[in-house]
Structure 1
Amino acid sequence: MLPQPQNQFADLVDDLPVLLQSPVRLWLTLMQEQEPAALPALMNASLGAAELLKLVATSEYAANALRRHWAWFAEQAASGALDTAPQLAWSELSQDADEPLFGRQLRSLRNRSLLHILWRELHGKAELDETLTSLSALADNLVAACEGYARRQLRERFGDVRDADGQPVSLCILAMGKLGGRELNFSSDIDVIFLYPHDGDSDGARTLSAQEYFTRLARRIVALLEESTADGFVYRVDTRLRPFGDSGPPVVSFAALESYLLNHGRTWERYAYIKSRVIVPATSDIEVTALYKELIEPFVYRRYLDFGIFESLRDMKAMISAEVQRREMARNVKLGPGGIREVEFIAQSLQLVRGGQVRGLRCRELQQALRQLADTRDLLRSEVNGLLESYAFLRRVENFIQAMRDQQTHDLPDNEADQARIALAMDRPDWRTLEAEIEQHRTFVSERFTAVAFRGAHETAASELRAGFATHCESVLDTDSWEQQFLQHGYEEPAVLAAEMCRFLQDRATLQADATARRRLNQLLPVMLDMLHGRAQVAETLRRLLNIVARVLRRSAYVALLIENRAALRRLIELCEKSAYLAEEIARFPMLLDEMLDPRPYSVDYNAATLRENLAERLTSLGEVDSERRVEVLGQFQRAALFRIAAADFTGNLPIMKVSDQLTDLAEIVLAEALTVAWRDLVERFGEPRFVEDGHNRAAGLGVIAYGKLGGFELSYGSDLDLVFLHNSRGSEQHTNGAKAVENGMFFVRLARRLVHFLTIQTGSGALYDVDTRLRPSGRAGLLVTSVEAFERYQRENAWTWEHQALLRARPVAGHAGVAREFERIRADTLTGRVNRDSLRDDVRAMREKMRAQLDSAADQGFDLKQGKGGIGDIEFIVQYLVLANAAREPAIIHYPDNIRQLGTLGAAGCLPRETVARLQDSYRAYRLRLHTLLLDGKPPVVANDAFPTERAFVSALWDELLA
């Protein structure tokens, strides 16, 4: 029989699970004895009696904390404060209190905050994000309070640490693990590393070195947090993630950390440092920024795609699984199969693989990282949603397990009372229902983890063919053994294949490969040889593949990429089979292997908007960097985009004119960005170029004019950029407006030179483009940059017919819009009114004959598609002749700078019969298509003498009719 006040709660208690009713009745009895007025107050609707009894039933820790802090809790409930996220009352922590009082204040604040957080979590008033953030913020602030208190204690005896310049040196506390990721558990250790920026000495009556001072400070902080008193403890502190773990010093300098990470850092530590976060000092400064940018990020994230991380992931998982089995931890929701740790591993492994290139993946919070992985298409959106749901569910279970008694445990309970507590907390009718749901989530997580960690690894070398190749790869065998192996399995040209394999395996670079590279090589080669079986020209394809593998052995993460992603390996084999050009590009620039991961190059039309978005993503992820680094990333973008276009081209998904359009778009985008970087550099040094005209101070600009293939929208792989630079500075006071002013002409020459430097400098991804500036007025003897006025004067007084031909295929591609408009006017005036039509035919014919004599590479051994009679060159000269001859009468025909559309306008204006136009356009496209195919396969632009007989005869006859 309950005492009278408790009778009011009998129905509420009876609604609880039977196994939990007795502890709740006991709590009510104790509360009646301790706070006689408390129980009647529970009937107040604002307190929520049923909700309170649910809290008592699910958590013994909360039941005890309520008795200790009842007045505070009742006040919070009555005021509605429990309906919002906790606002911690830091004013209650007195830095001037003696140590016992300060310790009681810390513990009181912790326990009250945990009650508030648990109340909101239990009753669905807080999402998981709020719970984890609140728990982490509580720890951040309690650690900061202890650091401040301990520092004041040390200052009284030893003063403050100062460097050689007298500037103060502060302790830096780096939060790791769950605290670093703002994902702290209800009853979790906090993982921290104590650091200091640089050496110094304390300035007190007794001097200590920075190392000794901060060691004492760190020990005092840990003692304040860990000491267990009648009021409990604040946090258990784990510092074993510091350099050398328990064997290392308690506190290390930034320099010592850098040395450790460079020389001793292991893969598992890269996982750990993903979540690292400075919590003291609480705000970032220059030193903290440098800690991340110069030490931690370069250690954690590689500039290349780091697929080797999956090996270490499997190793770590194997060690954890062995420990789980040894300690019978299968019911552990953190470390057991399909547990929380596997969700973390999924996200972190993909962060390590791609975070070096995608800055958005460099985030500490797991849930944010998962969402980013959906945005980057590293995981399907449905997979991410499932992982987020399972993670939230398992974390709630974990929190309620720990909240039962404020213990750091992750095991599902075995006794029925605790099972009832967790089921009640999770709002499930019974333990069996909850357990089935837990198992469902763990199964999903386990399947996703296997799919990520063991991608490609399920395709083992278990077949007879792969097993045989594996044995041969691991042993240094002669060509006869290899030939017999290839012959046995029906490969074509077994002797050639055997020679190639022996040459590769016995090459000095292969023999000197480190153990990791050799192990990965022995995994890759059997699979690669198996995939080659039955393919056309297998020997040539193998030669190209081995050339690539040889280039990447020293950075064997690329070998791991091909092992882990079999689809990427298949794409690589297909491209090497079809294109010597693409194979050589990959061998020269192994970063292009990254492109093997995305099948879109085979099917997607990469227009200018797509290319700009891609570049913008790369540049945005850079943050603030110097110009050289920006140009390096620009080069990586250009090389990758060029490769994608070539892959789509060679697989037949892009028509030839689209190829040229995309290559042209790419060049224009690269030019514009390189000019932007060069302009910014020069303006920072000298200010902006200005000039005075008609009393107005105006801005001067540079225009980049493209000639030749870029000007004519007909860029090909490896084409030079023919560029002319014009500026519009004129009038008086032509100089920059910076503190270090220079004359505008000098500014623009330096700008053009810097632009050319950016375009042609050799970086890790090669040079962007070869640049030819000889088409400027007066060629090499002329100025690199010409004023618009001087350019117009030259076109009017000095330009030759061949320069008018070149002007036909010229257009503005970057820079100042005003200069572009001026150029278009001059071009139109020149082509319509200044061409010497009396000598035009003789001039064009003479220039064509000179070019053919100098450049025809076929001689009598075939037909040179570009320079041979009836080829591409003849079509171009026919078009140019007809446009120049008729431009005065039909000015519309000069509008377009490319051959195909110029032919179209000639037909529309009646300068050529439409049938002739159509045949010329078809011949031109056919020639260029074959030219592209030859170029992609690394062959000269020459075909057999009997190729294209109809086209050649037609073009030659038209040439004779018009120009002979």
Structure 2
Amino acid sequence: MGDSLMETVPEALRLDAKRNWEQLLASCDDSTRAWYEAQAGDALFGPRLIKMLACSQAFFELLRQQPQAFREMAETGALEASDYALTFDEAACSSADELDRNLRRFRNRQWLRIVWRDLNRLADTHGTTGDLSRLAETCLQAALDFHHRELAAELGEPHSRDGVPQQLVVVGMGKLGARELNLSSDIDLIFTYPASGETVGGARQVDNQQFFIKLGQRIIASLDQRTADGFVFRVDMRLRPYGQSGPLVINFDAMEEYYQDQGREWERYAMIKARVVAGDQEAGADLLRDLAPFVYRRYVDFSVIDALREMKGMIRREVKRRQLQDNIKLGGGGIREIEFIAQAFQLVRGGRELGLQERSLTKVLDELLALEQLPLEAVKELKAANLFLRDTEHAIQAWLDRQTQQLPREKKERVALAWVMGFDGDWQRYYAALNSHRERVAEHFEAVIADPEKSDEIELSERPWEDLLHSADDAALLEELRDAGYDEAEEVARLTQAMLEGGTVKRMQSIGRERLYDFLPRLLDACTDAELPGRCYLRILPLVEAVLRRTAYLVLLIENPGALSRLVRLCDASPWISRLLARNPVLLDELLNEDSLYSVPDQEGLYSDLRQQMLRIPEDDQEALME
């Protein structure tokens, strides 16, 4: 490799690049050595190769182990192909050991191709993450097919009690589910199967769950165990129902029962990206459709905001406690905060805005722009920051193929990172650009799900409404209502206490009652702005009673004082609007947008709005279309 080419390498990396080049040639046979020497003189290939030898020690080690395989990919055009087809013939493997060996060699070969394309910018960020996700899916399906076949020969084929053959369903979570894997990602998985039953045709009969647990264990071992050939993917099963304390595999009925009865808000957050990545695709799609109501409520779900605030607080506390500022994923302004912004909107609005039921971060941000939930400048900044941070993540992980998002401290690693990122090895310029992106992300993160004490609109009541509502002192409540200027104060007090002491409120879960007692003082205060406070309050009370089983609507009004003010204004002016809202609480969503609320749409505008909503609904979803 000529001196002129070596001089293009930043000085801090030059010695390592030269040594790696010499060791690569020493590992080749005569023909392959001659090929590499010829390619080093190529105006395109030579600079790309020297960059890889300087900036990725992991690439160099794998290349030295299989220089001929890389040559074959170069000669067949695989290194240039943006739509490279991945195939693995597990049927050609005669034993589990051979499968494991071939899977690792297959993974290493594809890793070389993917890293070459990524660091040399022959693929964009989405191309790299998509390639890595397809690689994981291919390896998963190969391991599943091989081990299912082997296990069925021992124990028989699993069938439901109705005699229907059963297949494992592998649900990918996190970055795999979103097709956004990075170079050294874990793959987060959930294993499940359609129905209980027993195996048929084997030497001994076993329960389906026992069969699929054994199958799952074998799949994990084939991918996760480190051998002389390395590993395929690290597998993480902690997101499954009941976590590490639960069984490795459960059936669909148990999955649905778990999420319905015990599913927590963070699990809704995690399930946004769930996707069937291997096994029975059709059955898996049916399962995810059945679980969708757990993730996405049918209404604008402001009830999740407290949970999102807690998640946000945990993120802040973890950054501080673990001193994660140099972590480009978990630190302030990092990848996790961008994902939180997008997924917060998805949980709150995804039930009504079907376009938000997306796994891809970029597509969600585009949809938020279209829905006018985020301004154009914010979307541009978040998308640019995400690409910069993900490219940084890949460059860090390419150095040693380690699962880390920590910024390097050693000079050589820093220079390599800055070179790959387009800053000619200048760490200070790269670091300034990184911080610029992170500062903008941190600003947007702070603005989403704002803390109540930071809201300019929320004012605490000067009247003791909350204490009075919790007490049984009707006379004190009546006196306070009169002092606040309420007409019909006796009726307001009577009907309010009747509601609070009624069976519906007593049967509510504690969180629902807390929301009601949080909302009523705000409503009592807001109604004092009405022409006749008592009349206005009594018009709104049927709406409150109508949503006692869906207190997310109360949270909508708690979190949006402007919407509560508009509710009071409209109900004060019109008993018809009051009755309409009580019958159709979903219309409360319209109070969030003051501009559209008070402007009369023309026919063309209505048609356009309806058309946009219809475009987001699958053609075969007749229920959604009718709604």
1:245 corresponds to which residue?
243
* Cα distance change, pair 588–427 in 1 and its aligned pair in 2 (3 A): same
Work out which of the residue numbers 83, 89, 92 in structure 1 matches 2:80. Answer: 83
* Cα distance change, pair 554–565 in 1 and its aligned pair in 2 (3 A): same
| RMSD over aligned Cα atoms | 2.9
Residue 427 of structure 1 deviates from its aligned partner by: 0.9
Q: For residue 18 of structure 1, what is the amino acid of its counterpart?
A: E
Counterparts of 2:223 and 2:135 in 1: how far apart (Å)?
13
- SS class of match (2:188): strand
- SS class of match (2:227): coil
Q: Does 1:308 align with 2:303?
A: yes
Work out which of the residue numbers 474, 496, 500 in structure 1 matches 2:492. Answer: 500
- SS class of match (1:12): helix
2:536 corresponds to which residue?
541
- SS class of match (2:549): helix
Q: Does 1:99 align with 2:96?
A: yes
Q: Does 1:158 align with 2:155?
A: yes
Counterparts of 1:44 and 1:437 in 2: how far apart (Å)?
34
Partner deviation per Cα, 1:470-493 (whole Å, 9 max, x = no partner)? 763674274665577678xxx751
1:33 corresponds to which residue?
26
Partner deviation per Cα, 1:517-545 (whole Å, 9 max, x = no partner)? 23334544455455555553333333334
Work out which of the residue numbers 48, 51, 54 in structure 1 matches 2:48. Answer: 51
* Cα distance change, pair 232–611 in 1 and its aligned pair in 2 (3 A): same
Maintained 8 Å contact 2:547/2:553 = yes
* Cα distance change, pair 322–376 in 1 and its aligned pair in 2 (3 A): same
Q: For residue 557 of structure 2, what is the amino acid of its counterpart?
A: L
Q: Does 1:148 align with 2:145?
A: yes
Partner deviation per Cα, 1:379-431 (whole Å, 9 max, x = no partner)? 22332222211111111111222222111112222333222221111112422
- 1:362-511 to structure 2, matched below 5 A, reads 362-429=357-424, 430-454=426-450, 458-459=454-455, 466=461, 468-469=463-464, 472=467, 475-476=470-471, 478=473, 493=485, 500=492, 503-504=495-496, 507-509=500-502, 510=505
Q: For residue 403 of structure 1, what is the amino acid of its counterpart?
A: A
- SS class of match (1:337): coil
Q: Does 1:218 align with 2:210?
A: no
Maintained 8 Å contact 2:487/2:535 = no
Counterparts of 2:385 and 2:180 in 1: how far apart (Å)?
15
2:167 corresponds to which residue?
170
Q: For residue 19 of structure 1, what is the amino acid of its counterpart?
A: A
Residue 624 of structure 1 deviates from its aligned partner by: 5.9
Instruction: Give % identity.
Output: 36
2:510 corresponds to which residue?
515
- SS class of match (2:165): coil
Partner deviation per Cα, 1:362-395 (whole Å, 9 max, x = no partner)? 2221211221222222222332222211111111
- 1:124-139 to structure 2, matched below 5 A, reads 124-139=121-136
Maintained 8 Å contact 1:176/1:272 = yes
- Count residues in correspondence: 618
Partner deviation per Cα, 1:326-372 (whole Å, 9 max, x = no partner)? 22222222222222122212222222222222322222212112212
Residue 582 of structure 1 deviates from its aligned partner by: 1.0
* Cα distance change, pair 123–46 in 1 and its aligned pair in 2 (3 A): same
Consecutive unaligned residues of structure 1, counting only runs of 5 or more, are: 1-5, 634-964
Q: Does 1:228 align with 2:223?
A: no
Counterparts of 1:235 and 1:59 in 2: how far apart (Å)?
19
Partner deviation per Cα, 1:713-771 (whole Å, 9 max, x = no partner)? xxxxxxxxxxxxxxxxxxxxxxxxxxxxxxxxxxxxxxxxxxxxxxxxxxxxxxxxxxx
Partner deviation per Cα, 1:858-896 (whole Å, 9 max, x = no partner)? xxxxxxxxxxxxxxxxxxxxxxxxxxxxxxxxxxxxxxx
- SS class of match (1:193): strand
* Cα distance change, pair 50–601 in 1 and its aligned pair in 2 (3 A): closer
- SS class of match (1:297): helix
Work out which of the residue numbers 331, 341, 345 in structure 2 matches 1:350. Answer: 345
Q: Does 1:592 align with 2:587?
A: yes
Residue 210 of structure 1 deviates from its aligned partner by: 0.8
Maintained 8 Å contact 1:401/1:422 = yes
* Cα distance change, pair 44–391 in 1 and its aligned pair in 2 (3 A): same
Worse-matched range after superposition: 452-461 or 311-320: 452-461
Q: For residue 408 of structure 2, what is the amino acid of its counterpart?
A: P
Counterparts of 2:56 and 2:303 in 1: how far apart (Å)?
44
Maintained 8 Å contact 1:181/1:276 = yes
Q: For residue 385 of structure 1, what is the amino acid of its counterpart?
A: K
Work out which of the residue numbers 259, 262, 278 in structure 1 matches 2:260. Answer: 262
Worse-matched range after superposition: 583-592 or 41-50: 41-50
Residue 211 of structure 1 deviates from its aligned partner by: 0.7
- The structure with higher relative contact order (CA 8 Å, sep 6+) is 2
Residue 515 of structure 1 deviates from its aligned partner by: 2.4
Q: For residue 429 of structure 2, what is the amino acid of its counterpart?
A: T
Counterparts of 1:366 and 1:473 in 2: how far apart (Å)?
47
Consecutive unaligned residues of structure 2, counting only runs of 5 or more, are: none
1:15 corresponds to which residue?
8
Q: For residue 17 of structure 1, what is the amino acid of its counterpart?
A: P
- SS class of match (1:280): strand
Residue 27 of structure 1 deviates from its aligned partner by: 1.1
- 1:639-658 to structure 2, matched below 5 A, reads none
Counterparts of 2:543 and 2:401 in 1: how far apart (Å)?
57
TM-score by length of 2: 0.90
* Cα distance change, pair 535–298 in 1 and its aligned pair in 2 (3 A): closer
Q: For residue 227 of structure 1, what is the amino acid of its counterpart?
A: Q
2:273 corresponds to which residue?
275
- 1:726-741 to structure 2, matched below 5 A, reads none
Counterparts of 2:458 and 2:608 in 1: how far apart (Å)?
44
Counterparts of 1:230 and 1:71 in 2: how far apart (Å)?
19
- 1:99-118 to structure 2, matched below 5 A, reads 99-118=96-115
Counterparts of 2:391 and 2:335 in 1: how far apart (Å)?
11
Counterparts of 1:460 and 1:618 in 2: how far apart (Å)?
33
1:337 corresponds to which residue?
332
Maintained 8 Å contact 2:591/2:597 = no
Counterparts of 1:222 and 1:55 in 2: how far apart (Å)?
31
Partner deviation per Cα, 1:47-82 (whole Å, 9 max, x = no partner)? 622221212222111121121222222333345432
Residue 83 of structure 1 deviates from its aligned partner by: 1.8
Q: Does 1:564 align with 2:564?
A: no
* Cα distance change, pair 347–22 in 1 and its aligned pair in 2 (3 A): same
Counterparts of 2:448 and 2:171 in 1: how far apart (Å)?
30
* Cα distance change, pair 626–224 in 1 and its aligned pair in 2 (3 A): closer
* Cα distance change, pair 472–398 in 1 and its aligned pair in 2 (3 A): same
Counterparts of 1:479 and 1:347 in 2: how far apart (Å)?
46
1:897 corresponds to which residue?
none
Counterparts of 1:415 and 1:311 in 2: how far apart (Å)?
42
* Cα distance change, pair 401–473 in 1 and its aligned pair in 2 (3 A): farther
Residue 601 of structure 1 deviates from its aligned partner by: 3.7
Q: For residue 221 of structure 1, what is the amino acid of its counterpart?
A: I
Counterparts of 1:473 and 1:338 in 2: how far apart (Å)?
44
Q: For residue 441 of structure 2, what is the amino acid of its counterpart?
A: V
* Cα distance change, pair 30–558 in 1 and its aligned pair in 2 (3 A): same
- SS class of match (2:143): helix
Counterparts of 2:340 and 2:622 in 1: how far apart (Å)?
36
Counterparts of 1:399 and 1:626 in 2: how far apart (Å)?
39
Residue 622 of structure 1 deviates from its aligned partner by: 5.0
Maintained 8 Å contact 1:307/1:558 = yes
Counterparts of 1:60 and 1:467 in 2: how far apart (Å)?
66
1:943 corresponds to which residue?
none
Residue 228 of structure 1 deviates from its aligned partner by: 0.2
Worse-matched range after superposition: 210-219 or 392-401: 392-401
- 1:713-728 to structure 2, matched below 5 A, reads none
Residue 434 of structure 1 deviates from its aligned partner by: 1.8
Counterparts of 2:106 and 2:43 in 1: how far apart (Å)?
23
